[in-house]
Amino acid sequence: MDKCNFKKFVVKWLVALTIVISTVYAQTGWERISLLGSGVNLSEWLEAYWEADYPVWEKYKEEDIAFLKELGFRHIRLPVAFTLWTDTVPPYTVDTTIFLLVDSVIQWCIKHDLRIVISYHHGRLGDRGTAEFPRIMASWRQIAYWFQHTDPEYVFWDLYNEPHNIAHAQWQSFVSELVDSMRQWLPDHTFIVAPADWSGIDQLDSLQPLHDPNIIYTVHVYRPFLFTHQGASWAPCTHLTGYPFPYDPARMPEADTIIWNNPFCAHAYTNYPLWATVSWLRTHIEKAAQWSQYHQVPIYIGELGVYYKAPYADRLRWLHIVTCTADSLNIPWANWGFKYAESSFGFVYGGIAHRENIQPRFMESICLLGDSVPVHTFKPSVELPVKQPFSIWAYDLWGRQIKTKISQRIVKIGQRGIIVLK
């Protein structure tokens, strides 16, 4: 083979190799998202800067991770307020104490075969805008360097939670630069990127997929806002409670001057009859799937949930619609909240993760994505002899109360607690 032909051969070989490598790399985001399934945010912990004793180091423990695995969840999302641990002046050094705690959670997840999404929460874009860019960049470089040896099959990085107070074009440019910078230390890890303006599904059209193929794109589902955040003291125009889902004019709270004097609140209240319907909510989530399909990139619902002050049966209906719609579209999701259900978005009362502390019918209402593990692990059946007729009160999937008269000789309790007569 002469030199000219040899050079041509080498060039062709290198081109072919590049194509093969690029193809494998391009598949990574899609392959990784299949590992997530349904998940739970370990919220009100490492992001909860407002708590007087922040951070409570032992608020979550390894047994909590094991408990979530037992329930059938496949990943956890760990919100961390890295900004609180980062100096406010250059070179923006991060206190590595927080890294040690995050690393412990990573080890728990790997031990129990759960994936972990680590999310940068409560950054200061909201009050500093683009002036915060250098600090975020410096923080992430240190995070990437510290965790460069973690397993990319288990550890995912959510680069900024709910970016806001920034133009879409500015966010697009910055997050692209951020991804390129972090690849120096995390060449194989999957990054998660949200659209600007609070990670809303309606903002996806303002986000162009990055050139890096190892990216998962994320949105949050909290619509209609007046329903999911009713009674939350920190949110705008959520002082009223009793909002129904689906919309029921007979149960709607009457709007007051606080609602009508705020354009956002008035708009949300006026459109509530449209937005608080099953069909609208499903269509809303389908928009995310359509964006994903159009751009051929994976999508993930990093947060969803309903605050505890919502009518409980309505909350279950909403969760069922959202999680089961996501399930039908093969979109992984993570509920915002786990423990402390009496004061949060969680589903376990108090700080002790035991089955008896799970809110009634919560696990029966959600659809766990792509997992054959039973939602509850009751014994397959329990047979009880019935000596005389009696009545019981039960609940269907939608939280409706049903009175049933039992007169058969055997009552059989099925796997999900549904009564079957024999």
CA angle 97, 102, 104 (to 5 degrees): 100
pLDDT tens digits along 4-52: 454 444 434 433 333 333 333 434 899 999 999 999 999 999 999 998 8
Q: Does 407 lie in the same domain as 295?
A: no
Number of domains into which the chain is organized: 3
Instruction: Judge if 115 and 253 occupy the same domain.
Output: yes
Q: Which domain holds residue 404?
A: 382-421
Same domain? For 240 and 260 the reply is yes
Based on the domain organization, do 313 and 388 belong to the same domain?
A: no
Looking at the structure, do residues 341 and 413 belong to the same domain, yes or no? no
pTM above 0.75, yes or no: yes
Which residue do the tokens 């409980």 mark?
Answer: 312
Same domain flag for 10 and 115? no
Find out whether 329 and 367 touch, Cβ atoms under 8 Å.
no
Same domain, residue pair 130 and 210: yes
Asked whether residue 70 falls in the same domain as residue 153, the answer is yes
329: its two tokens:
């579209």
> Are residues 19 and 92 part of one domain?
no
Residues 391 and 361 in one domain: no
For 133, the 3-state DSSP assignment is: helix
Q: How far apart are CA 372 and CA 100, in angstroms?
A: 34
End-to-end CA distance of the chain: 83
Backbone angles phi, psi at 69, to 5 degrees: -65, -40
Residue 175 falls in which region: left (phi positive, over 0), alpha (psi -120 to 50) or beta = alpha
User: CB pairs under 8 A, 24+ apart, for 22-29?
Assistant: 22/213, 25/213, 25/214, 26/213, 27/213, 28/188, 28/190, 28/213, 28/214, 29/190, 29/213, 29/214, 29/215, 29/216, 29/297, 29/298
Residues 231, 171 share a domain: yes
Q: What is the pLDDT of residue 28?
A: 84
**Per-residue pLDDT tens for 300-342?**
999 999 999 999 999 999 999 999 999 999 999 999 999 999 9
pLDDT tens, residue by residue, 76-107: 999 999 999 999 999 999 999 999 999 999 99
Task: Calculate the dihedral angle through the C-alpha atoms of 76, 309, 197, 298, rounding to the nearest 10 degrees.
Answer: 30
Length of the chain: 422
